[in-house]
């Protein structure tokens, strides 16, 4: 045990670990920092596939402590932050339960998609206006 955190070199989901809390923490921090999967994967040296597993709660997959440490470091947290979240099941913000954070992030995702759709529509309208003006 190191600083009250059990020392393991690899992690498979165990009943006393909260992978959903880790997923909530990572997703929340990514939204706060406005960083995408690819950018975080590059910054942490973790594959996008592994990062995706972490973002979805690991669901039975093995994740190394070094991976959690690398992701935490890339998100400007202390190296052991995600391991602490995993073993304590607490949200890094401490302000909202994980379910509420998930709901908020889902809402933000829907808004981002709507903005992307509107941008495409606006680009189409601009093209039509430009084409009409050149006639």
- 10-11 and 63-64 beta bridge pairing: antiparallel
Two tokens, residue 34: 């406005």
Asked if residues 23 and 53 have their Cβ atoms less than 8 Å apart, the reply is: no
pLDDT in tens, 49-105: 999 999 998 766 778 889 999 999 999 999 889 988 888 755 444 445 566 777 787
pTM: 0.57
- Between CA 91 and CA 87 the distance in angstroms is 11
Placement of tokens 């020392």 in the chain: 7
């Amino acid at each position: 045990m190191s600083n009250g955190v059990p020392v393991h070199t690899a992690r498979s989901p165990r009943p006393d670990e909260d992978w959903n809390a880790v997923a909530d923490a990572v997703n929340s921090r990514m939204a706060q920092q406005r960083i995408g999967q690819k950018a975080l994967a590059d910054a942490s040296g973790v594959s996008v596939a592994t990062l995706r597993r972490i973002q979805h709660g690991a669901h039975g997959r093995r994740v190394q402590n070094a991976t959690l440490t690398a992701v935490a470091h890339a998100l400007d947290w202390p190296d052991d932050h995600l391991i602490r979240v995993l073993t304590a099941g607490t949200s890094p913000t401490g302000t909202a339960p994980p379910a509420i954070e998930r709901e908020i992030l889902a809402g933000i995702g829907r808004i981002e998609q709507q903005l992307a759709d509107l941008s495409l529509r606006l680009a189409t309208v601009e093209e039509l206006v430009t084409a009409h003006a050149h006639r």
